[in-house]
Amino acid sequence: MAKNTYRQTSSPEPARTNEPRPVRNQPRQNAEPAREPRRNDAKAAPKPAPKAPRQPLKLPSVKLGNVFGFLRDRRFQLFLGFFFLLTSIYLTIAFVSFLFTGHADQSVVESLNATPVKEAGQESGNWLGLLGAMLAELLIHKGFGVAAFAVIPIVFFLGYKIVFRRAELSLSYVLALCLFTMGWLSLLLGYVVLTLEAPDADPALAHSLDFLSGGVGYEAALWLDSLIGWGTVLLLAFLLISFVVYFFNVTTLNLGRSKADDDEPAFGTAAQAQTAAASINGFNAVVTADDEEEEEEDPAPQMTLRRVGPVATPAPAPVQAVPAPELDEPEEEELDDAPAIASGPINSPSPALSAAAAVPLTVASSSVAATLASASAAIAAAGASAAAAPAASGPSFSFETPTDPEPVAALPTRVPTPLSMADLADDDAPLPVSAPRETAGPALQIDSQPGELDPAAGADMAAIADDDQDMETMPAVNYDPTLDLSRYQYPTLELLNDYGVAKAQVSKEELEANKDRIVETLGHYGINIASIKATIGPTVTLYEIVPDAGVRISKIKSLEDDIALSLAALGIRIIAPSPGKGTIGIEVPNTKKEMVSIRSVFATDKFASTEMDLPIAFGRTITNEVFVVDLAKMPHLLMAGATGQGKSVGLNVILASLLYKRHPAQLKFVLVDPKKVELSIFNKIERHFLAKLPDTDEAIITDTKKVVNTLNSLCMEMDRRYDLLKDAGCRNLKEYNRKFIERRLNPKKGHRYMPFIVLVIDELADLMMTAGKEVETPIARLAQLARAIGIHLIVATQRPSVNVITGIIKANFPCRISFKVTSKIDSRTILDAGGADQLVGQGDMLISQGSDIIRVQCAFIDTPEVDRLCDYIGEQQGYPDAYLLPEVVGESGSGSGDAEDFDPSSRDSMFEEAARVIVTHQQGSTSLLQRRLKLGYNRAGRLIDQLEHFGIVGPFEGSKAREVLIPDEYSLEQLLNNLPK
């Protein structure tokens, strides 16, 4: 019976005598049928005494933290760690020795209660003495057989983790793997041994291998065999598959898939994408159930980094992934109480989590992109078929429906955004909607560029960086101006109306008829045409003709009206010659115009992936190309157009373009709206995108007097910015901000991140009428100088007459846009060329940049769309207030315009002299003081305010001079004598 002695563990052993010890390898034939005695033995085994009912454990009232405080003692930890490490070595030797000496040692160990330890130790053959023999007997022979070796990695890992405070695998990972291996392998081997014990099997072989399974494995296999027979094999297979699936997170099977399939980008499962997206420097961050357990165990801010093999995606350069630092093991009590994010940086969710959230929506957006792409493919097909139409008789004629050449941009993906300190600080501000919203590409760009890590994630990584790592040595990237509103979500395309795919509105008949009339009309004047080609745009069709040799261009140009007459169409424009084409262009309005929706323009790759600083997507050109310009390069814009021709829509398009592409930290608007209703809709984004003077209630300026102050304030901001640029040794704002972001400028010296400022004046005519020079001078000054320091002007007017668009303003606005105007003169005033009077209206516009004039159909954005856009931004967390411009009082002395604020003790030294000039001339004008007293604008303005305060001149009256309240010099002298000195 010695063969299965480990199964008799509960049998009382005979007292040890001098007789030879029962030998383990006693012949098997002496045995009774193998299974019976074990069952009997089991029944015969004395039952353990019934346990006393459990008493509720009375905890001492001392804090557990005090009791287990020694656990935090590093010396104790090292002691424990080395103990585990050495134990693992000890177990390895003892177990290996067991393979050779186990059988012989079995009787020694089993007779221990009857033999003195010393004697038993001498008899033991194990290389590590009696203890080695006992451990091996317990864990291998009576326990799990050879599978007991799996205990060793657990003990070793514990020691390693405690001593070195780092481990690339989590404890739960090692425990799960080793314990499963031990149990499963033991059961498997138990079943093998059981099978070898069958009457027809080789008994010697069975005996020599019986140590493999151990007592536990054998008994379990025996039990299962009795219960389900051969089903044990199936159960073993099922257990293995289940473990592999769960443990290795298997979600797809590659059975029968070709390599090509494998090469496809995997959007399949959240886990895959999560793993792919969170790849950092060769580690994949994986959040699994195991890791959650790990988090409970250790409240340190940590992301489990599991090496899962080489990662295909290139690691983002600037941020280094470092394994989470191990903190001292916390006490049990602390662990329970620790909130989930207690120690983590609040603005930094695990990249793995971000990725997981992004996945389903990535799929959604890619399918939308696919839909749009197929739509543009359909247009392309339509264009191709139109182009294939046979040419008519006469000069060669071809026409094409220009297709959208822009690949449609992938829609923004959604990412949850981190919470910043500012978020927490501003309790009143509405918290952003917790549901993930979309972020424009570079918004992963946020405005992160594709491929960059979320800056917040970058901050996170730095936050968990090893204590020893010197932040100074890291790449200088973690100042990020957008982090104050790090949860800010860029607007999505869903906010805009979807008008579907635009269709070509010009029929082949219309094209043919127009072509015939052009050829015929020109023929009447003896102009023959070599070839003619038509390009269909959204509003007009461009017929490009190549006249016969020797025809004078000016002759064709002079026939503009005749061609218009013959075509019975308004808005014909002749471009002779078409720049860079060698043809003469004749633009003929389409009978049915195509509306260019703003959504279709924003969805194009050209706009979505633009790298411009201040991109504006105006609309589509005649060749259907999306027309995107950079306001930062323009650098200012003058817009004109008769009433109802699309100016306000154009302004909204400009504002929407910028709002779609810039973060509130990067851009501020100063909105001047004398009409009071045009821009009021943008009030909702005051705390995100608007700038205003301190102590003013409304950010959108409707009062002329405030406009003057605001313009002067912008001039001050400009001067200050120039000072800062000079101090930093930078030539423009971009360079300066780059330097600041790289932390090469000291905020203590007044350096700060400077957003672009875009000043929008909706109606210049009104301002010029009421404030004249007072607005003209600062506007001209800003236009001349503000380019380099990121202040850009957009000035619109419906009256492009010379007294509104004065020479000085015009000279400083090289880029001008004209919607339809009422006269040729207006067209010349704004564009220095005719043509704007011949536009067809409704957003049809000409853009002049220097010598080039381009016809563009402005995109259409409706008021409800702007409303939705502003709501979307306005509902998000904003800054506590609008961006504050410098106060004017300090430098110009004109204060916020309130003469009551004036401090009498700080009267200007030229006050009396100024009063005499004003009273003598009976004209309360700042420019009079400037001229007569040779003063600068600011000082003259300050003096006028002081004169107002002392009742010498009346209040500000717009462009008119102030009323002089003192009738003659005598009265003035009396007043001056009575003034406090």
Residue 418 binds ligand ATP, judged by CB under 6 A: no
| Binding residue ranges | 641-648
621 binds ligand ATP (CB under 6 A): no
CB of 948 to ligand ATP, least distance (A): 35
| Of the residues 269, 313, 469, 643, which one makes contact with ligand ATP according to CB under 6 A | 643
Binding span for ligand ATP by CB under 6 A among 10-18, 234-242, 638-646, 731-739: 638-646
Q: Where are the beta strands (DSSP E) in 203-358?
A: 279-280, 283-285, 305-306
672, 764 Cβ separation under 8 angstroms: no
Minimum Å gap between C-beta 864 and ligand ATP is 12
Should residue 206 be labelled a site residue for ligand ATP when binding is judged by CB under 6 A?
Answer: no
CB of 650 to ligand ATP, least distance (A): 7
DSSP assignment, residue 144? I
Nearer to ligand ATP by C-beta: 127 or 499?
Answer: 499
Return the residue of 98, 860, 879, 883 that touches ligand ATP, per CB under 6 A. Answer: 860
In the complex, least distance from residue 749 CB atom to ligand ATP, rounded to whole angstroms? 45
Name residues contacting ligand ATP, limited to 122-151 (CB under 6 A). none
How many residues touch ligand ATP under the rule CB under 6 A: the total is 15
Q: Which residue is nearest to ligand ATP (CB)?
A: 843
Q: Which stretch binds ligand ATP (CB under 6 A): 272-280, 713-721, 857-865, 872-880?
A: 857-865
User: Do you find a cis peptide bond into 46, omega within 30 degrees of 0?
Assistant: no
Q: Which is nearer to ligand ATP, 566 or 648 (CB)?
A: 648
Between 533 and 799, whose beta carbon lies closer to ligand ATP? 799
Minimum distance between the CB of residue 555 and ligand ATP, rounded to whole angstroms? Answer: 35
The alpha carbon of 337 is separated from its chain's Cα centroid by a whole number of angstroms, namely 33
Q: Does the footprint of ligand ATP cover residue 641 (CB under 6 A)?
A: yes
For tokens 């829509």, the residue is: 649
Stretch that binds ligand ATP, among 6-14, 203-211, 637-645, 882-890 (CB under 6 A): 637-645
Nearest to 407, CA basis, from 451, 360, 441: 441
Q: Return the residues of window 714-743 that contact ligand ATP according to CB under 6 A.
A: none
Nearer to ligand ATP, 316 or 641 (CB): 641
Select from 533, 573, 647, 662 the one that contacts ligand ATP (CB under 6 A). 647
Give 194 or 856: the residue with its C-beta nearer to ligand ATP.
856
Q: Which is nearer to ligand ATP, 571 or 843 (CB)?
A: 843
Residue 843 in the binding site for ligand ATP (CB under 6 A): yes
Cα angle 420, 421, 425 (rounded to 5 degrees) comes to 125
Considering only residues 190, 491, 646, 924, which one is a binding residue for ligand ATP as defined by CB under 6 A?
646
Window 788-807: contact mask with ligand ATP (x via CB under 6 A): ----------x---------
Task: Give the helix/strand (H/E) hosting 231.
Answer: helix 231-247
SS3 531: strand
Residue among 214 and 641 whose Cβ is closer to ligand ATP: 641
Closer of 397 and 618 to ligand ATP (Cβ): 618
Please report, for the chain, how many H helices and E strands are present, in that order. 37, 21
- By the rule CB under 6 A, 610 interacts with ligand ATP: no
Burial of 229 (0-12, 13-18, 19+ CB in 10 A): exposed
Report the residue count for the chain: 981
Stretch that binds ligand ATP, among 263-271, 854-862, 898-906, 950-958 (CB under 6 A): 854-862
Task: Tell me, letter by letter, the H, E, C secondary structure of 706-746.
Answer: HHHHHHHHHHHHHHHHHHHHHHHCCCCHHHHHHHHHCCCCC
Give the nearest distance from C-beta 402 to ligand ATP in angstroms.
Answer: 18
Buried b (16+ CB within 10 A) or exposed e, 831-853: beebbbbbbbbbbbbbbbeeeeb
372: enclosing H helix or E strand: helix 351-387
Q: Is 657 in the site for ligand ATP (CB under 6 A)?
A: no
Least Å distance, CB 411 to ligand ATP, is 23
Q: How far is residue 510's CA from residue 38's CA, in Å, rounded to a whole number? A: 101
How near is the Cβ of 761 to ligand ATP at its closest, in Å?
13
Paired residues of 953 in beta bridges: 964
- Tell me the H-state helices in 834-883: 863-874
Q: 304 is written with which tokens?
A: 């489990």
Among 577, 579, 644, 904, binds ligand ATP (CB under 6 A): 644
Residue 69 touches ligand ATP, criterion: CB under 6 A: no
Q: Give strand pairing partners of 626.
A: 620
- Tell me whether residue 606 is exposed, middle or buried, using C-beta atoms within 10 angstroms of its C-beta: 0 to 12, 13 to 18, 19 or more: middle
- Please tell me whether residue 876 binds ligand ATP under the rule CB under 6 A: no
| CA–CA dist 409, 412 (Å, integer) | 9
**Beta carbons within 8 Å of 447's beta carbon, 6+ residues apart:** 440, 482, 490, 661, 662, 663, 666
Distance CA 591, CA 631 (A): 33
Among 413, 489, 648, 797, binds ligand ATP (CB under 6 A): 648
Q: Which range touches ligand ATP (CB under 6 A), out of 240-248, 470-478, 495-503, 645-653?
A: 645-653
Q: Which residue ranges are tagged as binding site for ATP?
A: 641-648
- Residue 649 near ligand ATP by CB under 6 A: yes
Select 283 or 618, whichever has its Cβ closest to ligand ATP: 618
Beta strands 305-306 and 413-415 are unpaired
Site string for ligand ATP, 566-595 (x = CB under 6 A): -----------------------------x
Cβ count near 468 (within 10 Å): 6
CA-CA distances (angstroms) from residue 156 to 131, 137, 150, 174, 329?
Answer: 19, 20, 10, 10, 18
Longest dimension (CA), the chain: 145
Asked if residue 864 binds ligand ATP (CB under 6 A), the reply is: no
Question: Which stretches of the chain bind ligand ATP, using CB under 6 A?
Answer: 595, 641, 643-649, 798, 842-843, 858-860
